[in-house]
């Protein structure tokens, strides 16, 4: 075992996780299913983790309420990271203004349930998702013809335009924001009250699981394969007959919809939003979450989102210095693990099986 | 409110717009140079500008010993003394910004290109040790000592685990840049003597009106900024187009592999590119403090975003495009603010960018550092 | 192999170090028990009340961009608590910090934490209007009394929050006072209005604008994050008003004052309470001279007893903006504890009938939580010093 190799194995705990995954893949179906069920159950019990001896000491957030951090930050960041991962990780489009879609979702719910109408949250939420999706299409149609870094600055501008417009338009509540936003309806024992964050967490976690399920289906479909092709080499993909514009627009719209969904959940939980909830820096944090976890890998996005949301709260003791530490950590992770904590596996063989032979050149293109 | 027709303040807005545009243009050059050579958005370039404003401040107060106020008034200087002070500040800003840009390249980007060296390892190791030190110590001094002691072994370790010869994906560069930008900003905010408060720079230049043009006062500080920016840009264009090193920069911008085969030292050329960008940002920073007499830990962020917008507007990778983009942005922001109200300033800037890119997808002048000609 | 073992050990050591950090961070949110002896014995003395684990909390920014303002407020509350603890050795009240960084997104989770801590009987804060709107619904649902020493936004009081109290008058009192000062005392016929498009700045500027009516000849908004305000400056220069009111915070006010004066604008500059900070003087330099600053806050430094006690506790410092209000707010809670109210409902009930002389004014609240009286003070900047001129009629 060489020196550098041993060091790398020490620094990357993530690798052992993926080995565990491989080992599980070899097990029978029932073993895999029960393992998954236990994991999901453990996730639903997350708000109680701080009560478990050693584990609790690791995860708890001193100085702030753990269940509230889970709902206000972690759930939102994970959902947003999943959505942004579609845009950045799967389709390879650099989006620096993702907070715009998040804001559109939150504002749609706020306007429809408090500012200008009194619709229930359950009705507002799908409308918010649709409106965000529409915003994605409206922004994407003219801009997705641009390449790479032009797209980055244009999306960044879009995020700012949304925030400034909300800040200066009376109809959108201007800088005072919108309060008294409707909460989700109570279902049986799940009562969505101001003082109990747990029901919101269960709702958020369920949403995340559904989104993950749907995204997995999508990733393995024709759409997902087209995204792969576009990301690896857009020209080649175009040459092979992939309608790159259409699929890029799909990625943008789906990403935007998930961002809007996160926004609607946030608005329903906090019941008050104002433009300063959606600063430009948040877009950058979202992107950092995706790339830190491993762009293109859904599990990476989940881990990255959760870490970026949870870490500053866990290390509140650093107070003023936590943002500095976060910046240093970003550089170090990128220098020593540029593919992120949980890198995307390149499952070339499987793609080749299910892909038309004519596109092999496009996929043979390694990053 | 709408009775404030733009024509009544048109020339006023034009002068201030051109001055601000010149500063945008100088900072935009840094983005455009690095992008032209590396195809990388150097997100931390805004912090290089911020370092420049502080360098100017330190030169004026700590090195030259200028007071903030003299008997309740600004410490105005005149004649030869004034010129010397301004030149000293300019030099200080350029040196520190240039050095900062080079350090940034070697510590935060070069290891990602698969050619991390001792310098990068030492900087990264020091920062890591410093962060670990934060856990044990509360005072910056003991932290520093801990950081310095820890640097040696960690640097040695880092040198061993640098991923030599393996290029990281492009997104990784961007995140590293964002991380570096955050860390630099926060470091100034935490350990600077005034924390997150605004800093003032001593005002040595009395802002006299030189002459009137179309009924508008033309102030001396604006004249210095506009002329200074033009001079610096001309110097840069001459360097890139007329010198051996400049040819190397253009060669790498055109085709890295071919340049390498032809014997160009690519890492050195990249270093020079960052240095040039840093020096331009330093110049911009000094002029900025001349007009606005202030600095703050986060002063670079918004200005950086705007300058990057200017670079894209003109055609990123195109040196003259940066100048044009900066001026167009500065002017349209001013006119737009007068028409629609200052709160819409950024919206105007971004909508303009969007419209330009619709019709000219590679910016006003197109991207072409490699083909730049005077 | 030996080498790699060594490295592995050091890697473990590093991870351990991080773990220790986690440990160290536990101290955040813990109770600070200062026992600085001050000569002030005005604090109430408790007889036979047990206050095991009882504390009040500060809620606001201690780090981040607005951290300095929060530190001023916390200092005022801290002084009141340590005076109380000195006077009552048998009843030690703690002061718990909740650092929101002024960010409404962080506020709900912090509020929840404060609510979960049953020992906390009252909140001095939330410091800003934005975080108030995010956190106050939670405090209201939990019945945890809040007294904000600084959030002056006018519409905070019409939310039917029964726990809401303010230790100073809101912007709905300040705005008309500013307008009256501009039109009567300054006798300005033409007025220019600038705001920073923030909740506080625009809210206040709009009230002033509506009250002044036709006298307003030009108005504009600026982006506080930008460095250059030349569009607004050009507009004011063209309109040549007699007075200019700026609604916003001190850092931008300083930059704006300088740029206005550089452009040759000679109008009297008028500002709201967000500018009452020495940072304004530092940022504006000589350009600040002659400016008028209004504030619903009293001049803490002018109360000699309070100022002396403050300097005794924080050597070399004088009370800053909102410090005196925070002191009064904390005093109200401490009086409740001294009266034997050691549960939240009791404290809330106690505040309804609370009526005592504070450092800033007589402290008693109406049913919406607004403090009685609507005193607005005018301050003037002369030779780099902010000094009080007097009450505005």
Residue B62 in any domain: the answer is yes
Residue B40 in any domain: the answer is yes
pLDDT tens string A210-248: 999 999 999 889 898 899 888 888 888 888 888 889 999
Select the residue from C134, C139, C195 to test the A interface by mutation, using most A Cβ atoms within 10 A.
C134
Least confident range from A72-86, A344-358, B210-224, B278-292: namely A344-358
Residue B269 in any domain: the answer is yes
Whether the pLDDT of residue B281 is over 60: the answer is yes
Phi, psi of C303 (to 5 degrees): -85, 100
Average per-residue pLDDT for chain B: 88
Q: Which residue has the higher pLDDT, A30 or C79?
A: C79
pLDDT-derived band at A348 (thresholds 50, 70, 90) equals very low
Contact A160, B350 (CB under 8 A): yes
CA atoms within 13 A on the CB side of C76: 34
CB C24 to CB A317 under 8 A?
A: yes
Which pLDDT score is estimated for B25?
A: 95
CB B350 to CB A334 under 8 A?
A: no
Whether the pLDDT of residue B301 is over 70: the answer is yes
Which pLDDT score is estimated for C25?
A: 39
Whether the pLDDT of residue C45 is over 60: the answer is no
pLDDT tens string C322-346: 888 999 999 999 999 988 888 899 9
- Closest CB to C223: pick one of B157, B196, B346: B346
Whether the pLDDT of residue C31 is over 60: the answer is no
pLDDT-derived band at C23 (thresholds 50, 70, 90) equals very low
Phi, psi of C356 (to 5 degrees): -145, 155
Whether the pLDDT of residue C252 is over 50: the answer is yes
Which pLDDT score is estimated for A365?
A: 34
- What are the C-alpha distances in Å from A127 to residues A109, A120, A171, A177? 8, 11, 18, 20
Our CA-based measurement puts residue B137 at a distance from the nearest CA of chain C, in whole angstroms, of 10
CB A288 to CB B347 under 8 A?
A: no
DSSP line for B139-188: SHHHHHHHHHHHHHHHHHHHHHHS-TT-PPPHHHHHHHHHHHHHHHHHHH
Which pLDDT score is estimated for A2?
A: 45
Which pLDDT score is estimated for B19?
A: 94
Which pLDDT score is estimated for C301?
A: 67
- Which tokens sit at C168? 């100073």
Interface residue A313 vs chain C (CB under 8 A): yes
Average pLDDT over every residue of B241-257: 89
pLDDT-derived band at B326 (thresholds 50, 70, 90) equals very high
CB B180 to CB A325 under 8 A?
A: no
Comparing alpha-carbon positions, the chain B residue that sits nearest to C198 is: B343
Phi, psi of C106 (to 5 degrees): -90, -20
- Closest CB to C199: pick one of A176, A197, A313: A176
Contact A271, A291 (CB under 8 A): no
CB C227 to CB B299 under 8 A?
A: yes
Q: Label each residue of chain A as H, E or C.
A: CCHHHHHHHHHCCHHHHHHHHHHHHCCCHHHHHHHHHHHHHHHHCHHHHHHCHHHHHHHCCCCCCHHHHHHHHHHHHHHHHHHHHHHHHHCCCCCCCCHHHHHHHHHHHHHHHHHCCCCCHHHHHHHHHHHHHHHHHHHHHHHCCCCHHHHHHHHHHHHHHHHHHHHHCHHHCHHHCEECCCCCCCECCECCCCCCCHHHHHHHHHHHHHHHHHHHHHHCCHHHHHHHHHHHCHHHHHHCCCCHHHHHHHHHHHHHHHHHHHHHHHHHHHCEECHHHCCHHHHHHHHHHHHHHCCCCHHHHHHHHHHHHHHHHHCHHHHHHHHHHHHHHHHHHHHHCCCCCCCCCCCHHHHHHHCCHHHHHHHHCCC
Average pLDDT over every residue of A206-213: 95
Helix B10-38 × helix B319-340 angle, to 10°: 140
Helix A198-219 × helix A244-270 angle, to 10°: 170
- CA angle (A270, A321, C125) in 5-degree steps: 45
Interface residue A316 vs chain C (CB under 8 A): yes
Q: Which of B4-18, C31-45, C304-318 has the highest mean pLDDT?
A: C304-318
Average pLDDT over every residue of B238-260: 89
Which pLDDT score is estimated for B303?
A: 92
Our CA-based measurement puts residue C118 at a distance from the nearest CA of chain A, in whole angstroms, of 13
- Which tokens sit at A321? 């210095």
Percent of chain C whose predicted confidence (pLDDT) is above 90: 38
Residues of A in contact with B172 (CB under 8 A): 291, 334, 338-339
Phi, psi of C102 (to 5 degrees): 70, 15
Q: Label each residue of chain C as H, E or C.
A: CHHHHHHHHHHHHHHHHHHHHHHHHHHCCCCECCCCCCCCCCCCCCCCCCCCCCEEEEEECCCCCCHHHHHHHHHHHHHHHHHHHHHCCCCCCEEEEEECCCCCCCHHHHHHHHHHCCCEEEEECCCCHHHHHHHHHHHHHHCCEEEECCCCCHHHHHHCCCCEEECCCCHHHHHHHHHHHHHHHCCCCCEEEEECCCHHHHHHHHHHHHHHHHHEEEEEECCCCCCCCHHHHHHHHHHCCCEEEEECCHHHHHHHHHHHHHCCCCCEEEECHHHCCHHHHHHHHHHHCCCEEEECCCCHHHCHHHHHHHHHHCCCCCCCCCHHHHHHHHHHHHHHHHCCCCCHHHHHHHHHCCCEECCCCEECECCCCCECCCCCEEEEEECCEEEEEEECC
Question: What is the rounded CA–CA span in Å between residue C88 and residue B143?
Answer: 39
pLDDT-derived band at B332 (thresholds 50, 70, 90) equals very high
Our CA-based measurement puts residue A251 at a distance from the nearest CA of chain C, in whole angstroms, of 28
pLDDT-derived band at A354 (thresholds 50, 70, 90) equals very low
pLDDT tens string A110-152: 999 998 989 999 999 999 999 999 999 999 988 888 766 788 8
Q: Which residue has the tokens 């910004």?
A: B97
- Closest CB to C231: pick one of B157, B301, B337: B337
b/e code C350-382 from CB counts within 10 Å (16+ = b) = bbeebeeebbbbebbbeebbbbeebbbbbbebe
- Which tokens sit at A83? 């959505």
Whether the pLDDT of residue A9 is over 50: the answer is no
- Closest CB to A335: pick one of B124, B309, B361: B124
Residue B185 in any domain: the answer is no
b/e code C102-141 from CB counts within 10 Å (16+ = b) = bbbbbbbbbbbbbbebebbbbbbbbbbbbbbbbbbbbbbb
Sign of CA dihedral B242, B244, B245, B247: positive
Comparing alpha-carbon positions, the chain A residue that sits nearest to C153 is: A176
Interface residue C231 vs chain B (CB under 8 A): yes
Residues of B in contact with A325 (CB under 8 A): 131, 134
Q: Which of C5-14, C24-33, C336-345 has the highest mean pLDDT?
A: C336-345
Question: What is the rounded CA–CA span in Å between residue C129 and residue C61?
Answer: 12
Residue B145 in any domain: the answer is no
Question: What is the rounded CA–CA span in Å between residue C19 and residue B198?
Answer: 35
pLDDT-derived band at A59 (thresholds 50, 70, 90) equals confident
Least confident range from A214-223, B3-12, B281-290, C267-276: namely B3-12
Containing structural domain, residue B346 = 9-103+203-359
- Closest CB to C63: pick one of A277, A315, A319: A319
Phi, psi of B75 (to 5 degrees): -80, 70
pLDDT tens string B15-34: 999 999 999 999 999 999 99
**Which domains occur in chain C, in start order?**
39-170+300-360 (3.40.50.2300), 172-295+376-391 (3.40.50.2300)
- Which tokens sit at A136? 């994605």
ipTM (interface pTM): 0.89
Residues of A in contact with C130 (CB under 8 A): 177, 274, 276
- Closest CB to C234: pick one of B13, B20, B74: B13
- Closest CB to C218: pick one of B4, B203, B301: B4
Whether the pLDDT of residue C191 is over 90: the answer is yes
Residue B366 in any domain: the answer is no
**Region for residue C111 given its phi and psi (left: phi exceeds 0; alpha: psi -120 to 50; beta: otherwise):** alpha
Select the residue from B134, B135, B140 to test the A interface by mutation, using most A Cβ atoms within 10 A.
B134
Which pLDDT score is estimated for B74?
A: 84
Which pLDDT score is estimated for A13?
A: 54
Interface residue B197 vs chain A (CB under 8 A): no
Under DSSP, the state recorded for B371 is T
Least confident range from A27-41, A281-295, C12-26: namely C12-26
Under DSSP, the state recorded for B203 is -
Average pLDDT over every residue of B194-210: 84
Comparing alpha-carbon positions, the chain B residue that sits nearest to A317 is: B135
Whether the pLDDT of residue B137 is over 90: the answer is no
pLDDT tens string B34-77: 988 888 888 899 999 999 999 999 999 888 888 888 877 888 88
Which pLDDT score is estimated for A21?
A: 65
Which pLDDT score is estimated for C389?
A: 87
- What are the C-alpha distances in Å from C208 to residues C192, C195, C217? 11, 11, 13
pLDDT-derived band at A16 (thresholds 50, 70, 90) equals low
Whether the pLDDT of residue A171 is over 60: the answer is yes
Which pLDDT score is estimated for C374?
A: 73
Q: Which helix (H) or strand (E) holds B295?
A: strand B294-295
Residue among C160, C156, C137, C158 at smallest CA distance from C148: C156
Interface residue B238 vs chain A (CB under 8 A): no
Q: Which residue has the higher pLDDT, B237 or C278?
A: B237
Whether the pLDDT of residue C42 is over 80: the answer is no
Residues of C in contact with A201 (CB under 8 A): none
Our CA-based measurement puts residue C21 at a distance from the nearest CA of chain A, in whole angstroms, of 8
Total domains in the fold of chain B: 1
CB B308 to CB A153 under 8 A?
A: yes
Interface residue A99 vs chain C (CB under 8 A): no
CB B13 to CB C65 under 8 A?
A: no
* Subunit partners of chain A (3 or more CB pairs within 8 A): B, C
Question: What is the rounded CA–CA span in Å between residue B333 and residue B336?
Answer: 5
Question: What is the rounded CA–CA span in Å between residue C244 and residue A163?
Answer: 28
Residues of C in contact with A57 (CB under 8 A): 22
Least confident range from B118-127, C13-22, C102-111, C348-357: namely C13-22
The CATH number that applies at residue B227 is 1.10.3470
Question: What is the rounded CA–CA span in Å between residue B198 and residue C36?
Answer: 32
Average pLDDT over every residue of A240-265: 93
CB C228 to CB B292 under 8 A?
A: yes
Which pLDDT score is estimated for C129?
A: 86
* Subunit partners of chain C (3 or more CB pairs within 8 A): A, B
Residue among A259, A207, A248, A211 at smallest CA distance from A101: A259
Which pLDDT score is estimated for C35?
A: 37
Contact A306, A354 (CB under 8 A): no
Reduced to 3 states (helix: H, G, I; strand: E, B; else coil), residue B199 is strand
pLDDT-derived band at C168 (thresholds 50, 70, 90) equals confident
What part of B 119-138 touches A (C-beta under 8 Å)? Answer: 124, 127-128, 131, 134
CB C64 to CB B334 under 8 A?
A: no
- Closest CB to A323: pick one of B41, B186, B351: B186
Average pLDDT over every residue of B225-240: 94
Residue B328 in any domain: the answer is yes
Start-to-end C-alpha separation, chain A: 27
- Closest CB to C226: pick one of B1, B203, B302: B302
Our CA-based measurement puts residue C198 at a distance from the nearest CA of chain A, in whole angstroms, of 6
Comparing alpha-carbon positions, the chain A residue that sits nearest to B104 is: A331
Which pLDDT score is estimated for C383?
A: 86
Our CA-based measurement puts residue A290 at a distance from the nearest CA of chain C, in whole angstroms, of 21
Comparing alpha-carbon positions, the chain C residue that sits nearest to A282 is: C105
Residue B161 in any domain: the answer is no
**Which domains occur in chain A, in start order?**
64-364 (1.10.3470)
pLDDT-derived band at B227 (thresholds 50, 70, 90) equals very high
* Subunit partners of chain B (3 or more CB pairs within 8 A): A, C
What part of B 270-329 touches A (C-beta under 8 Å)? Answer: 305, 308-309, 312, 316
Question: What is the rounded CA–CA span in Å between residue A299 and residue A296?
Answer: 9
Percent of chain B whose predicted confidence (pLDDT) is above 90: 43
Interface residue C301 vs chain B (CB under 8 A): no
CB B182 to CB A330 under 8 A?
A: yes
Q: Which residue has the tokens 């910046």?
A: A327
Reduced to 3 states (helix: H, G, I; strand: E, B; else coil), residue B294 is strand
Which pLDDT score is estimated for B105?
A: 93
Which pLDDT score is estimated for A358?
A: 34
B83: Cβ contacts below 8 Å, ≥ 6 apart: none
pLDDT-derived band at C40 (thresholds 50, 70, 90) equals very low
pLDDT tens string A301-332: 999 999 888 888 887 766 678 778 888 988 99
pLDDT-derived band at A163 (thresholds 50, 70, 90) equals very high
B–C: how many Cβ contacts below 8 A? 116
Select the residue from C27, C100, C109, C205 to test the A interface by mutation, using most A Cβ atoms within 10 A.
C109
Residues of C in contact with B343 (CB under 8 A): 197, 221-223
C296: Cβ contacts below 8 Å, ≥ 6 apart: C152, C168, C169, C170, C173, C174, C273, C374, C375, C376, C377
CB C219 to CB B69 under 8 A?
A: no
């Amino acid at each position: 075992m060489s020196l550098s190799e041993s060091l790398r194995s020490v620094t990357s705990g993530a690798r052992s996780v993926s080995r565990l995954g491989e080992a599980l893949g070899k097990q029978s179906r029932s073993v895999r299913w029960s393992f998954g069920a236990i994991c999901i159950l453990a996730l639903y019990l997350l708000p109680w983790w701080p009560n478990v001896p050693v584990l609790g000491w690791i995860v708890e957030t001193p100085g702030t309420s753990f269940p509230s951090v889970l709902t206000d930050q972690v759930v939102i960041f994970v959902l947003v990271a999943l959505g942004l991962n579609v845009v950045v990780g799967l389709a390879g489009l650099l989006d620096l203004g993702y907070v715009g879609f998040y804001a559109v979702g939150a504002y749609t719910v706020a306007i429809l349930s408090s500012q200008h109408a009194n619709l229930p949250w359950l009705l507002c939420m799908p409308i918010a998702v649709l409106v965000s999706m529409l915003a994605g299409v409206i922004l994407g149609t003219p801009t997705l013809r641009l390449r790479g870094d032009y797209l980055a600055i244009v999306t960044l501008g879009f995020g700012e335009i949304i925030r400034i417009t909300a800040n200066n338009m009376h109809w959108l509540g201007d800088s005072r924001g919108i309060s008294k936003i409707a909460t989700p309806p109570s279902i049986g024992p799940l009562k969505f009250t101001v003082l109990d964050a747990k029901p919101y967490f269960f709702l958020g976690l369920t949403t995340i699981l559904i989104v993950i399920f749907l995204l997995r289906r999508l990733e393995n479909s024709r759409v997902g394969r087209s995204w792969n092709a576009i990301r690896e080499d857009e020209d080649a993909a175009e040459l092979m007959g992939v309608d790159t514009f259409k699929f890029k627009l799909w990625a943008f719209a789906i990403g935007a919809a998930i961002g809007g969904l996160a926004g609607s959940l946030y608005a329903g939980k906090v019941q008050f939003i104002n433009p300063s909830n959606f600063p430009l820096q948040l877009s950058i944090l979202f992107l950092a979450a995706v790339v830190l976890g491993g762009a293109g890998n859904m599990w990476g996005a989940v881990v990255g989102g959760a870490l970026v949301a949870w870490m500053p709260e866990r290390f509140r003791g650093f107070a003023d210095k936590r943002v500095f530490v976060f910046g240093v950590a970003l550089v170090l992770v990128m220098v020593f693990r540029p593919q992120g904590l949980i890198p995307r596996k390149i499952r070339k063989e499987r793609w080749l099986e299910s892909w038309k032979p004519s596109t092999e050149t496009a996929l043979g293109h390694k990053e | 409110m709408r009775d404030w027709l733009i024509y009544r303040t048109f020339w006023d807005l034009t002068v201030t717009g051109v001055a601000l545009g010149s500063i945008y243009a100088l900072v935009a050059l840094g983005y455009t140079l690095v992008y032209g050579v590396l195809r990388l958005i150097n997100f931390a370039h805004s912090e290089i500008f911020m370092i420049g404003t502080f360098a100017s401040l330190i030169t004026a107060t700590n090195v030259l010993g200028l007071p903030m106020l003299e008997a309740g008034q600004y410490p105005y200087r005149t004649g030869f003394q004034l010129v010397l002070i301004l030149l000293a500040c300019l030099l200080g800003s350029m040196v520190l910004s240039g050095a900062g840009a080079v350090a940034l390249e070697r510590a935060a980007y070069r290891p990602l290109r698969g050619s991390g060296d001792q310098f990068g390892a030492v900087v990264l190791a020091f920062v890591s040790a410093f962060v670990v030190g934060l856990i044990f110590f509360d005072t910056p001094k003991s932290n520093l000592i801990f950081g310095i002691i820890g640097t040696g072994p960690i640097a040695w370790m880092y040198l061993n685990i640098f991923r030599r010869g393996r290029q990281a994906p492009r997104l990784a560069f961007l995140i590293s840049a964002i991380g570096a930008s955050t860390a630099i900003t926060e470091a100034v905010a935490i350990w600077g003597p005034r924390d997150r408060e605004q800093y003032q720079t001593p005002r040595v230049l009395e802002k006299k009106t030189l002459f009137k043009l179309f009924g508008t006062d033309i102030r001396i500080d604006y004249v210095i900024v506009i002329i200074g920016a033009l001079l610096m840009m001309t110097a840069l264009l001459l360097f890139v187009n007329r010198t051996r090193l400049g040819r190397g920069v253009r060669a790498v911008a055109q085709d890295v592999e071919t340049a390498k085969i032809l014997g160009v030292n690519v890492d050195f050329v990249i270093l020079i590119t960052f240095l040039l960008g840093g020096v331009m940002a330093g110049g911009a920073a000094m002029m900025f403090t001349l007009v606005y007499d202030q600095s703050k830990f986060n002063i670079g962020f918004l200005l950086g975003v705007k300058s990057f917008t200017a670079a894209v507007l003109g055609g990123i990778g195109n040196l003259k495009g940066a100048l044009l983009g900066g001026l167009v942005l500065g002017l349209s922001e001013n006119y737009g603010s007068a028409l629609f109200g200052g709160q819409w300033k950024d919206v105007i800037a971004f909508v303009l960018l969007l419209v330009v890119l619709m019709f000219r997808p590679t910016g006003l002048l197109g991207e072409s550092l490699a083909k730049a000609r005077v | 192999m030996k080498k790699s073992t060594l490295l592995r050990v050091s890697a473990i050591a590093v991870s351990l170090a991080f773990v220790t950090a986690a440990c160290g961070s536990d101290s955040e949110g813990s109770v600070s028990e200062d026992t600085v002896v001050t000569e002030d014995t005005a604090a109430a003395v408790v007889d036979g009340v047990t206050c095991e684990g009882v504390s009040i909390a500060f809620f606001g920014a201690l780090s981040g961009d607005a951290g300095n303002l929060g530190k001023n407020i916390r200092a005022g509350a801290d002084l009141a608590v340590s005076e109380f603890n000195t006077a009552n050795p048998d009843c030690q009240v703690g002061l718990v910090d909740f650092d929101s960084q002024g960010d409404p997104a962080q506020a709900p989770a912090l509020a929840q934490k404060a609510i979960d801590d049953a020992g906390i009987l009252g909140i001095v804060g939330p410091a800003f209007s934005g975080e108030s709107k995010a956190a106050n619904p939670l405090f209201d649902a939990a019945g945890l009394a809040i007294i904000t020493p600084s959030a002056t936004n006018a519409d905070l009081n019409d939310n039917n929050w029964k726990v809401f109290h303010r230790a100073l008058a809101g912007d709905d009192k300040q705005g008309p006072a500013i307008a009256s000062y501009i039109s009567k005392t300054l006798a300005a016929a033409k007025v220019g209005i600038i705001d920073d498009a923030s909740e506080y700045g625009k809210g206040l500027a709009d009230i002033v604008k509506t009250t002044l009516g036709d006298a307003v000849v030009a108005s504009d908004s600026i982006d506080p994050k930008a460095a250059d305000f030349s569009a607004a400056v050009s507009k004011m220069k063209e309109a040549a008003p007699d007075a200019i009111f700026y609604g916003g915070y001190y850092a931008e006010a300083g930059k704006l004052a300088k740029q206005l004066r550089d452009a040759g604008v000679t109008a009297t500059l008028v500002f709201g309470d967000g500018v009452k900070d020495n940072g304004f003087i530092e940022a504006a330099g000589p350009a600040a001279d002659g400016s008028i600053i209004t504030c619903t806050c009293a001049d803490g430094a002018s109360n000699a007893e309070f100022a002396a006690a403050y300097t005794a506790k924080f050597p070399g410092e004088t009370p800053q903006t909102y410090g005196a209000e925070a002191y009064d707010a904390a005093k109200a809670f401490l009086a409740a504890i001294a009266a034997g109210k050691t549960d939240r409902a009791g404290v809330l009930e106690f505040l309804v009938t609370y009526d005592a002389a504070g450092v800033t004014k007589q402290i008693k609240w109406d049913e919406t939580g607004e403090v009685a009286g609507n005193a607005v003070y005018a301050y003037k900047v002369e030779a780099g010093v902010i000094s009080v001129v007097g009450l505005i009629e």
